[in-house]
């Protein structure tokens, strides 16, 4: 194995010029490592497809799950694994000059990705022309930042096949979507990816509302409030219901503890903010707050059961799994939970139980069904763990995040058994 100390060691007595040279050299090493990862990913895909062809796996199903294996090996999300594998195939099969520039440090991995992305709509022949023109002489890339690299690639693509670029832009409307991610100070970013005419029209409507409203709010506040009102149908000042989507300990709710709470689909928020959300929702007759009990393990404090309000156990179980797991349980994947599925499939004897249940995004759920993948779950003192084993035998472990609230007191073995039994009884 490579000695990592060779990369991390720095001569404390080196002068400034030597330190700059080392920083530049390490940047080239990062690019060369990305090229090596690309080669390894393509070879892995080739080996897997050959093995599956020999096993008479249908052609349409060969290579399924390889991108997720690449992602796990790189400690990255499965969606990025697809981009990594697609990037590697483009470099290996169609863009040798870009690959060479990456290997020699003339391009970073991201800038090489931009070139691959902007040329994706071209035929193989045109893509090779773009590759040679843009990266055939690596010195042409000197001084070019991300925007200039992407613009240069797009200009060459338009010259080679303008219609292909236009057609890709037309198909891009199929990718329209809305996403959410946390922002600082208990705020959130809700982002809409829209065709240009819709995006410009939406912004113009919000801007027009701000231009015709005169009160003590800023323009940005008016636009944000108008967006909320028009999408939800409820005035922005009416508190949102917080049933099921706000998880906090009873000590936090009643002010005895300042442990953070968790908003489902967002993440931790300060205790005072959580109490404020509950208070205004409970006090305002136009909204409502519903309390649902979640049961914690008496030693670990991990969630082990949920009070049932419905006779349809699968629905309640799915809600519990979503609150316990918070995001997709595949390691390094922070995608929202879309599927609630069995770790060990039902057709292999897996029970419909919280321990065997996992919250997964759609992609990860499908990938774990690929040949050679195995998932095992366990629960020790209420702490739920899942182990993902890839076809190559690599093991990746995932633990459910701890729920909000301060640690529980230490109990004896007998007391623990009694409390857990009572918990199961009340949650049934």
Domain residues of the chain, as ranges?
5-173, 177-232, 246-291, 303-427
- Flag whether pLDDT at 23 surpasses 90: yes
Task: For residue 293, name the pLDDT band (cuts at 50, 70, 90).
Answer: low
63-121 pLDDT, tens digit each = 999 999 999 999 999 889 999 999 999 999 999 999 999 999 999 999 999 999 999 99
Are the C-beta atoms of 314 and 341 separated by less than 8 Å?
no
pLDDT at residue 352, rounded to an integer:
79
CA 318 – CA 310 distance, rounded (Å): 12
Over range 272-288, report the average pLDDT.
Answer: 71
Looking at 18-27, 304-313, 334-343, which range is the least confident one? 304-313
Q: Which residue has the higher pLDDT, 169 or 136?
A: 136
Helices (H), 270-329: 271-283, 313-325
Confidence of residue 179 (pLDDT cuts 50, 70, 90): confident
Q: Is the pLDDT of residue 318 over 80?
A: yes
- Is 25 or 179 the better-scoring residue by pLDDT? 25
Dihedral over alpha carbons 112, 113, 114, 116 (to 10 degrees):
90
Residue 405 has phi, psi (to 5 degrees) of 120, 155
- Residue 391, Cβ density class (10 Å: 0-12 exposed, 13-18 middle, ≥19 buried): middle
| pTM of the predicted protein model | 0.71
Residue 226: band (very low, low, confident or very high) from pLDDT cuts 50, 70, 90: very high
Q: Does residue 375 contact residue 369 with C-beta atoms inside 8 Å? A: no
At which residue do the structure tokens 């390889």 appear? Answer: 66
Given a contact cutoff of 8 angstroms between Cβ atoms, the answer to whether 65 and 373 are in contact is yes
Listing from the earlier edge strand, what are the strands of the sheet with 395-399? 374-380, 383-389, 395-399
- Comparing 373 with 280, which gets the higher pLDDT? 373
**What DSSP string runs through 193-239?**
E--HHHHHHHHHHHHHHHHT--SSS-HHHHHHHHHHHHHHSS-TTSP
DSSP letter assigned to residue 292: -
CB 294 within 8 Å of CB 307 = yes
244 φ/ψ sector (left φ>0, alpha ψ -120 to 50, else beta): left
* More confident position, 147 or 243: 147
pLDDT, residue 72, reads 94
């Amino acid at each position: 194995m490579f000695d990592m100390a060779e990369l991390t060691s720095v001569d404390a007595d080196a002068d400034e010029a030597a330190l700059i040279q080392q920083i530049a050299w390490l940047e080239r090493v990062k690019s060369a490592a990305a090229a090596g990862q690309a080669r390894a990913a393509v070879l892995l895909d080739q080996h897997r497809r050959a093995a599956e062809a020999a096993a008479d796996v249908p052609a349409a199903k060969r290579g399924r799950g390889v991108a997720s294996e690449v992602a796990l090996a790189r400690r990255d999300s499965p969606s990025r694994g697809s981009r990594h594998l697609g990037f590697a195939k483009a470099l290996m099969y169609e863009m040798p000059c870009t690959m060479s520039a990456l290997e020699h440090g003339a391009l970073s991995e991201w800038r090489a990705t931009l070139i691959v992305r902007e040329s994706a709509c071209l035929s193989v022949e045109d893509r090779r022309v773009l590759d040679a023109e843009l990266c055939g002489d690596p010195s042409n890339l000197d001084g070019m930042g991300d925007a200039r690299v992407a613009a240069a690639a797009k200009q060459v693509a338009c010259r080679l096949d303008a219609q292909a670029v236009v057609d890709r832009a037309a198909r891009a409307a199929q990718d329209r979507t809305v996403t959410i991610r946390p922002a600082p100070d208990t705020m959130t970013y809700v982002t809409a990816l829209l065709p240009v005419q819709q995006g410009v029209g939406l912004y113009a409507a919000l801007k027009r509302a701000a231009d015709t409203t005169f009160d003590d709010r800023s323009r940005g506040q008016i636009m944000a409030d108008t967006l909320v009102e028009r999408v939800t149908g409820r005035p922005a000042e009416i508190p949102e219901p917080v049933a099921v989507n706000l998880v906090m300990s009873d000590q936090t709710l009643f002010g005895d503890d300042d442990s953070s709470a968790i908003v489902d689909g967002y993440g931790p928020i300060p205790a005072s903010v959580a109490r404020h959300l509950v208070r205004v929702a409970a006090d305002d007759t136009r909204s409502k707050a519903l309390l649902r009990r979640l049961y914690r393990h008496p030693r670990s404090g991990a969630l082990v059961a949920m009070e049932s309000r419905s006779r349809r156990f699968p629905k309640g179980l799915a809600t519990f799994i979503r609150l316990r797991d918070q995001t997709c349980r595949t390691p390094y994947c922070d995608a929202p939970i879309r599927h609630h599925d069995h770790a060990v499939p039902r057709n292999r004897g897996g029970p419909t139980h919280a321990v065997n249940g996992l919250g997964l995004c759609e992609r990860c759920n499908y990938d774990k069904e690929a040949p050679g993948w195995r998932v095992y779950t366990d629960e020790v003192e209420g702490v739920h763990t899942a182990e993902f084993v890839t076809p190559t035998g690599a093991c990746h472990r995932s633990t459910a995040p701890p729920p909000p609230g301060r640690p529980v007191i230490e109990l004896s073995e007998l007391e623990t058994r009694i409390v857990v039994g009572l918990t199961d009884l009340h949650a049934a």
